[in-house]
Structure 1
């Protein structure tokens, strides 16, 4: 009896649900010589990528690794990293990327938390541990894994939170959630994309571009440690069409003195997420860099997503846009009640792309959820915001960063806007620190611009332009603002450093 023909990639992409491993297999059949991955001088076409995924999955199965098991990955960006991630999916296992910048204790804790029976680590990270070579470990050429069945609700990956506010939590994302990320990009042109990946593969920020590019059959260019000039050189050389960058990367790229000399004319779409993106920087990118600039506001846990097409709404650059179709975002007060139109409140969101929960942390999962009167589940975003009359969401601050001083709520972003406007400040932020008199008080940190004024002069400038309750009690210069790999300022680190130096109780 003849075998039914396998579905095409196009048919799967326009169905109700498809898995990424099946899509890559379809691309391997239909465009086998198309380049899937580039990293430096190394390239991998779809046929070879598909075959390596098969060999990886077959070896996992031969070693007795069960479907649904976590596969921990600790290392820098590379083609081998991508093969491990994607090969784990083909075996219906759960890739669990872990930041190599974490301490050994943190890495061990995350591996223990996810229960991974096998760990794939870069030799430079695990140099004290005997390691098997990946190429030698793979199943023989031509090996194929036993077929697996993947349901939409099955776990796709576990992503550990950045840990900027404490111990990282494992965020379980389902195949249905990742399918929603893929399907929503139907008009984004990823089928012919050359996508620049300049953030780590353990970050959800990266995966929301990396995965759709491969799902739609485009080409991914993997970059190493970020360097603005190297990014521009690679983008020009590869005729890049798409990129996902975080705000600090945009700032560094736009500051390259001869930025305008690079040929970026092939760009069609540049996206941004993960950290506050100033209106002035958005405007500069729109003016000087070809292609659309789209800002996404959302979170790794899911919830709702807002989208701002910066080119189309030049008067809304201070916002993060409006909720995309099928996403419901609401604002609630401290008692969990929805606020009136125009009032500020905590952001909660609901969409087809929501985490299953935090791995092994039912208490943390419950704390992250909010339910409306009909019992619909929403995820707390942790931000405070306000919708304008046109339905655009303006973020005011992180809820956890709000400073309560003398009974008043102080939003650090208001003070940061003034601080960063001073010509002597290259980069600045504000945190709340303990105060015997007020409970908390604002303290600023800044990276000095060359030849600028001293801290006291800058503090006087800021305090003359903010409200009495917002005045900085101190301002400290730092050589570099501590940030995680996707550009978020580590405010907790600054706060803890200041508290320790002052010898006050936290």
Structure 2
């Protein structure tokens, strides 16, 4: 376990980079697609970026946006902007031009850093092209003449970044995370062997909080981050073996694809200390397979980009609790509330309600959305602030949390609560099913009724009616699927979350 006695109560991320540049200047900090920066080079580039931002009038608290594929330039830009005291708004390159324009306006972004893959639409702030393309002014030209920046003393409560939770469709909602929250993540990481010899491999995008909760702690401890511009199962294993990877963060669908690779067991992954997972439901059977076939610890984090309470499941220590997301992390408090916001009795295994959480790592609020912020908050009788997760769950007698479903995905049929996760688990028991999702469809008789979408396993010829009958025979009377549809692939976000909204729309259109 890493010694944390030398870690201060708070330290800003740019200062951690400066520290490592002084103590170990030649140590590799970043590797992306063959491009490599050591800590001295990264620190110097951050200075030039911060100085150029200050030259352009960017002051502490001003926002700059970055919308591009993963690159060394992207990572350095993020860190350099922090050194100038700016707040960074990382945006999804796949967002529509209209959505990007809304997010840029919402963030009050003074500059947009992008690459040729982005379609930003008309108007907006001045553009700088990270890849030197015609998407904007070339980064190298923008940096010309930038020297040493004026020193900025970053405060814990200052905004670190604005993460947008709905960047492809719908009204974007910016989650403002302070520097103190990012530092809390770094302190948490100290429990899992992060040090100067850490090599973290990441294949999720830099605009995702899933990536950032491991990216920044690795650099805070002076380790090396190997970034993949896009996930590829075999490529991930090749890089893990080549760089002697010690840590990684993967989402469940990536673990699934890695485990399905025929040659998985031929790769040397013995350097792995810890593998992490978050962002989407992680099936117990898949956890068990990862534990059996991949060396090192397996840790699942349950929480929200908004912060609040988190749970941690150290799966290698609790193989009998793989169906849960673990217990509250140290210093984190989780409770259950009913539909009216009344707190449910603590320690009652029969209590089922929405999970709310409190910790030192919580968002300041949704950017310019006090109404949405209020909806996300719950206060106990003493006035303590909690963040609503939107997840329905229960605690067992040992304090481990089992998630039943998302509150918004809960199907209420004839007055009965139906949890889609239960139906999905039943579908996945059939050998012909590779993946499954269940959504609620409007019903004149019942209000809502469950509908299934299934990805058929290769080599199986079962038809929809046969699978529907097989599944319904194993479900309770009020749980039974109205219909079932085979599709080639479940729609997922960049971090592997099933986009159930798209499935509902597909069913309604059909």
Query: 1:6 is matched with which residue?
Result: none
Q: Which residue of 2 aligns with 1:235?
A: 240
1:363 aligned onto 2:371? yes
**In structure 2, the residue corresponding to 1:456 is in which secondary structure?**
helix
Within 1, Cα distance between the matches of 2:464 and 2:245? 42
Q: What's the counterpart of residue 496 of structure 1?
A: 505
In the other structure, the counterpart of 2:151 is: 147
Kindly indicate whether residue 468 of structure 2 is the aligned counterpart of residue 464 of structure 1.
no
The answer on whether the counterparts of 2:85 and 2:154 sit within 8 Å (CA) in structure 1 is yes
- Residues 164 and 299 of structure 1: CA distance in aligned 2, closer, same or farther (over 3 Å): farther
Quick one: which of 492, 495, 498 aligns to 1:486?
A: 495
Tell me if 1:278 matches 2:283.
Answer: yes
| Partner SS state of residue 307, structure 1 | strand
The equivalent residue for 1:74 is: 67
Map 1:379-398 to 2 at 5 A: 379-398=387-406
What whole-Å deviation, never above 9, does each CA across 1:336-385 have from its counterpart, x for those lacking one?
11113111110000000000000000000000000000000000011000
Q: CA deviation at 1:27?
A: 0.5
- Cα contact 2:115–2:135 (8 A) shared by 1: no
Post-superposition CA distance 1:190-249 (Å, at most 9, x none): 222100011000000000000000011000000021111110011001110000000000
Native 8 Å contact 1:164 1:492 kept in 2: no
In 1, Cα distance between equivalents of 2:487 and 2:324:
29
Distance 2:467 2:199 in 1: 44
Q: CA deviation at 1:166?
A: 3.7
Alignment CA distance shift 1:122-1:246 (3 Å): same
- 1:139 is displaced (CA, Å) by 4.3
The 8 Å contact of residues 308 and 320 in structure 1, kept in 2 or not, is answered as: yes
Residue segments in structure 2 that go unaligned for 5+ positions in a row: 122-133
1:422-450: CA deviation from partner (whole Å, max 9, x where unpaired)? 11111100000111111111000011112
Of the structure 1 ranges 262-271 and 449-458, higher mean CA displacement relative to structure 2 is found in: 449-458
**1:236-273 per-position Cα deviation (integer Å, ceiling 9, x unaligned):** 01110000000000000011101110000000000000
Q: 1:188 matched to which residue of 2?
A: 192
Q: 1:201 aligns with which of 200, 203, 206?
A: 206
TM-score, with normalisation over the residues of structure 1?
0.95
> C-alpha distance in 1, partners of 2:318/2:301?
14
Q: CA deviation at 1:496?
A: 1.0
Q: Give 1:179's match in structure 2, choosing from 162, 180, 183.
A: 183
Q: 5 Å matches for 1:268-417? A: 268-340=273-345, 341-342=348-349, 343-417=351-425
Structure 1 residues 13 and 106, CA gap change in structure 2 (3 angstroms): farther
- Could you tell me whether the CA contact under 8 Å between 1:12 and 1:23 is conserved in 2? no
Asked if 2 retains the 8 angstrom alpha-carbon contact of 1:162 and 1:484, the reply is no
Aligned residue among 39, 57, 61 for 1:64: 57
Question: Which digits, 9 at most, give the CA deviation of each residue in 1:172-195, with x for residues without a partner?
Answer: 000111111111222322222100
Distance 1:280 1:447 in 2: 18
Kept in 1: contact 2:99–2:167 (CA 8 A): no
**SS across alignment from 1:303:** coil
Select which of 136, 140, 143 maps to 1:135. 140
Q: Deviations over 1:402-436 (max 9, x none)?
A: 00111111000010000111111111000001111
Task: Confirm or deny: 8 A CA contact 1:58 1:139 kept in the other structure.
Answer: no
User: What is aligned with 1:32?
Assistant: 25
Retained in 2: the 8 A contact 1:165–1:492? no
Structure 1 distance, partners of 2:497, 2:135, is 34
Distance 1:225 1:32 in 2: 29
